[in-house]
Amino acid sequence: MFANRMPRYEILDEDGIATLERGWRRILTDVGIEFDHPEALDALRGAGQRIEGQVVFLDPDFVLEQVALAPSEFDLQARNPERSVRIGGDAMVFSSVYGCPFVREGAVRREATMDDFERLVRLSQAFPQIDTPGGVICEPGDRPLDSRHLDMTFALQTLSDKPYFGSVTSAGNARDSIRMTEILFGGRETIEATPALMAIVNVNSPLRYDERMLAALLEYARAGQAAIVTPFLLMGAMAPVSIPAAIAQQTAEAFAGIALAQLVRPGVPVVLGSFLSNTDMQSGSPGFGGPESALGLFCTGQLARHYGLPWRAGGGGLTSSQTCDAQAAYDALNTMSAAFFAGANLVMHAAGWLESGLVSCFEKFVVDIELLRVLQEQFTPLQIDEESLAFGAHVEVGQGGHFLGCAHTLERFRTCFYRPLLSSTANFERWLRDGGLDATARAGEIYRSTLANYEQPALDDAVRAELEEYVMRRRRELGD
Amino acid sequence: MFANRMPRYEILDEDGIATLERGWRRILTDVGIEFDHPEALDALRGAGQRIEGQVVFLDPDFVLEQVALAPSEFDLQARNPERSVRIGGDAMVFSSVYGCPFVREGAVRREATMDDFERLVRLSQAFPQIDTPGGVICEPGDRPLDSRHLDMTFALQTLSDKPYFGSVTSAGNARDSIRMTEILFGGRETIEATPALMAIVNVNSPLRYDERMLAALLEYARAGQAAIVTPFLLMGAMAPVSIPAAIAQQTAEAFAGIALAQLVRPGVPVVLGSFLSNTDMQSGSPGFGGPESALGLFCTGQLARHYGLPWRAGGGGLTSSQTCDAQAAYDALNTMSAAFFAGANLVMHAAGWLESGLVSCFEKFVVDIELLRVLQEQFTPLQIDEESLAFGAHVEVGQGGHFLGCAHTLERFRTCFYRPLLSSTANFERWLRDGGLDATARAGEIYRSTLANYEQPALDDAVRAELEEYVMRRRRELGD
């Protein structure tokens, strides 16, 4: 797991933080948040919050007290203990793209299948830069809607030994995720002691939690699992066309959900989620990778630290590009590097995102892995000491010489610099001889060879059998 | 001209700065710098520096005194006063790619010509993100070597009204650049009062200034024009395989040249140059765009501010990629954004760089313009105040609504977000209908339409005639 021990890039001064706090407080008290779930309304009413219909007018001081109950850092278990991660502090955890109905391979764009899902889980397992495949790495459209969460969870559990996300599509699905995780980890107690699931709870922004997401939030909170409470804000659609307004809204919405989770189970781990971008006012479509996404990340990171919460960066390798081209690359790096500068604790959509999140792209997956490799090296503190000054090399080489053959270089040439996975520095003639492939074509070769060399992590036969039995039984019960 | 009023990203603590200073001081005193020019040696000897052969052992305190004579900021004149720029402080000045023998358009890579040079100057003139075309935006291989600097300078002076760079290939060429600039600006006095030329003086690293560069440095310093004193450091070749060692070397080398310039003309403007990357130890070729380049920029910016000098970032849109693909885009953004985070004052190679600097690429030029547009927006401070909170919009839209039609959005939709030049957010079907062009193909359309719409800036007929006469006369004198 990567720890970001470099400085944070912070752009808010105290006045700015105070102005934003005035903003989110006023949204909670004067406009309120809608909760479309009786149990949520009961819990908030019981905590003395004023309610009209389904709209809860929250007391900001109460909300801050609830937020303070959430741990600033927590551990997330993997079935392979070496793959367990920390969420919070200096730790940065990277998860693959989530939620795409389509996949792209080379020039082919098509509906995603369970086979695609499994291959993307294998890629997530194979690349050490990815800490968790996440959850819905693509939507397996060839499996029945009612029960595909079982297939996905089983694949996440068996094809990878990294942590994974739980299903949030209904209370029942959340319970299935939790039950299957209990089986994998040897019982409820183990995962209550240290959570083994994260679940993305999206706000139905603006200012509304729908029944489905609240049901999932309540299930995961009760089980002591970690909700990533994420306002989904495209400015111009779900938020005003102003970054400060959107940040105030994001804080109000996320804090309201976090306050509810803490009412259900005080101290339950949560993650402050951010997924902030803008509508392209010319095309009317969502825009990703631009300045607004990066500025949103800088602000969110600073506020998360101010309020003592671990936080999620929306992405990760976001782009609106339709293909794995130059735009996809610069968009992705712009949000990915902003997540590093801002010190995000969980970076979702860190590999494979294309076409505004509609497409899981295999080549883009490898491009993003290269970005993660570069940035993880770039955000490792320089050691500056007498040895690093390499004075002896200067004495040896002197004026007008060459350092390639000097002792200092010979001792270090294997490890002294970043070694690319995808990028090529070959000269033009050599590159032509090697086929003249651009980076996307080379990425295609890399993901295919990675899949060919994939090794499935071992799993106890009895546990696998129990998971299979559970999936089959539940699939029957669901009528699929 | 863009002013970067966002915070600087700094990674060195006081100990780090002190260790690096110990490093560069020891290089100057114990290893020394070779100066292959009698006038330079005379000047340094006259200032009391110890000399053996052509190697000067510089007193670091003397060097710091000389460095302190250089202005921390200065103005650079353009013939159109609206295009004049500031070098230093918050100002960031962007120049096009420099020095490439080849060009690339679409799938064609070929030797550069004077026609290419002129078209690249027109592009530099047309895009407001570029403050100066620079100098050798490509090497016009179809013009005689001896006199092509005249053709290039004439093109820079007549096809653009932005500032430009002087030739550094010999003392005579430097004098031609200065003389032609005197003609354009109406006399020596004008350009001595405010410099109108910058010139790249590369160190022949390690620790050596060659005769050609010193001759140019001396000419420009005498004329009061600004030298960009730039150690050219590929770690593993011209520097040790250690970033701190390379930074210490860069500082020693640049300070030695700056000290010389200040001896020639105390107070002459100079720029601390940085061009730091690494050899790819697997291919043996230079590598650009990786973590080492970015870390080098963070360190250099901080040291430049520590010593009160304006500074140049090497790039800009650096990449080793052979074509304008995903790698070219992420490499370029990684160095370009690092230059912004580090607060570079002059960003060279900010548009068009490809293939480790061997190729000026027309499509890449447009990709880099898009990167500059994104970053200039991203590095503009957020206004966080009551109006920006847009509270009225939240009251108007409430829970579960949409902000597209609300009053706050309607008043601001034209200017509220970044508007791309190149990037597409079109949905897949629309994108396919529009031809399904990737970003590089669209960049091709943009540079061709930009050239088609180019308007040459007006120039006084008498000045033009005098420049033409000068070029013809000197060309004859040079035997071409």
Residues A344-394: pLDDT tens digits?
999 999 999 999 999 999 999 999 999 999 999 999 999 999 999 999 999
**Residue B65 and residue B76 in contact, taking contact as beta carbons nearer than 8 Å:** no
Which one of B384, B421, B428 makes the best mutation probe of the A interface by having the most chain A beta carbons within 10 Å? B384
**Do the chains contact at B438 and A326, CB–CB below 8 Å?**
yes
Task: At A452, list the tokens.
Answer: 């060919």
Q: Half-sphere exposure (CA, 13 Å, Cβ side) for B250?
A: 31
**Residue A335 and residue A303 in contact, taking contact as beta carbons nearer than 8 Å:** no
Task: At A152, list the tokens.
Answer: 């996905």
Confidence of residue B271 (pLDDT cuts 50, 70, 90): very high
Confidence of residue A77 (pLDDT cuts 50, 70, 90): very high
Say which of A26, A282, A383 has its CB closest to residue B419.
A282
Q: Half-sphere exposure (CA, 13 Å, Cβ side) for B246?
A: 32
The stretch A420-442 carries a mean pLDDT of 97
Q: What is residue B76's predicted lDDT score, i.e. its pLDDT?
A: 98
From residue A224, alpha-carbon distances to A186, A262, B105, B325, B410 in Å are: 16, 10, 58, 46, 44
Q: How far is B341 from chain A (nearest CA, A)?
A: 9
Contacts of B420 in chain A (CB under 8 A): 280, 287, 290
- Nearest residue of A to residue B430, measured between CA atoms: A283
User: What distance lies between CA A18 and its chain's CA centroid?
Assistant: 28
Contacts of B398 in chain A (CB under 8 A): 31, 206-207
**Residue A258 and residue A38 in contact, taking contact as beta carbons nearer than 8 Å:** no
**Do the chains contact at A280 and B321, CB–CB below 8 Å?**
no
**Do the chains contact at B334 and A374, CB–CB below 8 Å?**
yes
- Nearest residue of B to residue A5, measured between CA atoms: B11
Of A249, A279, A287, A319, residue with least CA distance to B413: A279
Contacts of A367 in chain B (CB under 8 A): 326, 330
Q: How far is B268 from chain A (nearest CA, A)?
A: 27
For the CA atoms of chain B, what is the radius of gyration?
Answer: 23
Map residue A186 onto helix, strand or coil. coil
Q: Which residue has the tokens 């130890």?
A: B281
Within a 10 A sphere around the Cβ of B291, how many other Cβ atoms? 21
Q: What is residue B347's predicted lDDT score, i.e. its pLDDT?
A: 98
Per-residue pLDDT reduced to its tens digit, B297-310: 999 999 999 999 99
ipTM over 0.85: yes
Contacts of A280 in chain B (CB under 8 A): 417, 420, 425
**Do the chains contact at B413 and A367, CB–CB below 8 Å?**
no
**Residue A360 and residue A432 in contact, taking contact as beta carbons nearer than 8 Å:** no
Say which of A241, A320, A337 has its CB closest to residue B409.
A241
Q: How far is B156 from chain A (nearest CA, A)?
A: 29
Please report, as a single letter, which amino acid is at residue B193. A
**Residue B344 and residue B314 in contact, taking contact as beta carbons nearer than 8 Å:** no
The stretch B412-432 carries a mean pLDDT of 96
Measured distance CA(A341)–CA(A379) in Å, rounded? 8
Size of interface A-B (CB pairs under 8 A): 409
Which one of B103, B322, B425 makes the best mutation probe of the A interface by having the most chain A beta carbons within 10 Å? B425
Please report, as a single letter, which amino acid is at residue A239. A
Measured distance CA(B205)–CA(B230) in Å, rounded? 9
Task: At A275, list the tokens.
Answer: 């997924």
Q: How far is A282 from chain B (nearest CA, A)?
A: 8
Per-residue pLDDT reduced to its tens digit, B109-126: 999 999 999 999 999 999
Measured distance CA(B320)–CA(B460) in Å, rounded? 42
Within a 10 A sphere around the Cβ of B467, how many other Cβ atoms? 21
For the CA atoms of chain A, what is the radius of gyration?
Answer: 23
Say which of A19, A23, A278 has its CB closest to residue B417.
A278
Please report, as a single letter, which amino acid is at residue B15. D
Rounded-to-10 torsion of CA A366, A372, A374, A378: 180
Q: What is residue A283's predicted lDDT score, i.e. its pLDDT?
A: 86
Which one of B423, B434, B437, B447 makes the best mutation probe of the A interface by having the most chain A beta carbons within 10 Å? B423
**Do the chains contact at A329 and B334, CB–CB below 8 Å?**
no
Q: How far is A467 from chain B (nearest CA, A)?
A: 39
Say which of A289, A333, A424 has its CB closest to residue B322.
A424
What string of DSSP letters covers B385-409?
SHHHH-HHHHHHH-SS--STTSHHH
Which one of A6, A293, A425 makes the best mutation probe of the B interface by having the most chain B beta carbons within 10 Å? A425
**Do the chains contact at B409 and A337, CB–CB below 8 Å?**
no
DSSP state of A28: I
**Do the chains contact at A330 and B289, CB–CB below 8 Å?**
no
Per-residue pLDDT reduced to its tens digit, B431-441: 999 999 999 99
Contacts of B436 in chain A (CB under 8 A): 322-323
pLDDT of residue B315 exceeding 90: no
* CB contact set of B168 (below 8 Å; sequence gap of 6+): B174, B199, B200, B201, B202, B212, B213, B216
Please report, as a single letter, which amino acid is at residue B332. A
Q: What is residue A275's predicted lDDT score, i.e. its pLDDT?
A: 96
A53 phi-psi bin (left φ>0, alpha ψ -120 to 50, beta other): left
**Do the chains contact at A394 and B207, CB–CB below 8 Å?**
yes
Of B467, B343, B294, residue with least CA distance to B5: B343
Contacts of B100 in chain A (CB under 8 A): none
Which one of B238, B242, B359, B364 makes the best mutation probe of the A interface by having the most chain A beta carbons within 10 Å? B242
Strand segments (E) across A299-398: 311-313, 346-347, 353-354, 359-361
Say which of B278, B331, B425 has its CB closest to residue A280.
B425
Measured distance CA(B286)–CA(B304) in Å, rounded? 25
The stretch A61-68 carries a mean pLDDT of 98
Measured distance CA(A222)–CA(B138) in Å, rounded? 66
Contacts of B101 in chain A (CB under 8 A): none
Q: What is residue B166's predicted lDDT score, i.e. its pLDDT?
A: 98
pLDDT of residue A315 exceeding 90: no
The stretch B230-238 carries a mean pLDDT of 97
Q: What is residue B391's predicted lDDT score, i.e. its pLDDT?
A: 98
* Distance between start and end Cα atoms, chain B: 39
Q: How far is B430 from chain A (nearest CA, A)?
A: 10
Which one of A285, A399, A412, A433 makes the best mutation probe of the B interface by having the most chain B beta carbons within 10 Å? A399
Contacts of A324 in chain B (CB under 8 A): 326
Task: At A46, list the tokens.
Answer: 């019981």
Q: How far is A461 from chain B (nearest CA, A)?
A: 43
Measured distance CA(A9)–CA(A28) in Å, rounded? 28
Measured distance CA(B232)–CA(B312) in Å, rounded? 12
Q: Give kind and range of the element (H or E) at residue B116.
A: helix B114-126
Per-residue pLDDT reduced to its tens digit, A442-475: 999 999 999 999 999 999 999 999 999 999 999 9
- Nearest residue of A to residue B392, measured between CA atoms: A240
User: What distance lies between CA A380 and its chain's CA centroid?
Assistant: 21
Q: How far is B101 from chain A (nearest CA, A)?
A: 13
**Residue B354 and residue B104 in contact, taking contact as beta carbons nearer than 8 Å:** yes
Confidence of residue B282 (pLDDT cuts 50, 70, 90): confident
Q: How far is A6 from chain B (nearest CA, A)?
A: 7
Q: How many helices (H) and strands (E) does chain A have?
A: 17, 19
Rounded-to-10 torsion of CA A115, A119, A121, A124: -160
From residue A191, alpha-carbon distances to A81, A194, A397 in Å are: 13, 5, 59
Please report, as a single letter, which amino acid is at residue B444. G
**Do the chains contact at A237 and B404, CB–CB below 8 Å?**
yes
Q: What is residue A282's predicted lDDT score, i.e. its pLDDT?
A: 87
Q: What is residue A235's predicted lDDT score, i.e. its pLDDT?
A: 98
Measured distance CA(B230)–CA(B202) in Å, rounded? 5
Say which of A206, A326, A341 has its CB closest to residue B326.
A326
The mean pLDDT of chain B is 97
Q: How far is B279 from chain A (nearest CA, A)?
A: 8
Which range has the worst mean pLDDT, A256-270, A344-358, B54-68, B275-289?
A: B275-289
Q: What is residue B283's predicted lDDT score, i.e. its pLDDT?
A: 86
Say which of B325, B333, B406 has its CB closest to residue A439.
B325
- Nearest residue of A to residue B406, measured between CA atoms: A240
Percent of residues, chain A, with pLDDT higher than 70? 100
Q: How far is B137 from chain A (nearest CA, A)?
A: 20
Measured distance CA(B376)–CA(B337) in Å, rounded? 10
Task: At A113, list the tokens.
Answer: 């299948």
Contacts of B290 in chain A (CB under 8 A): 374, 377-378, 417-418, 420, 423
**Do the chains contact at A206 and B399, CB–CB below 8 Å?**
yes
Percent of residues, chain B, with pLDDT higher than 90? 98
Contacts of A301 in chain B (CB under 8 A): none
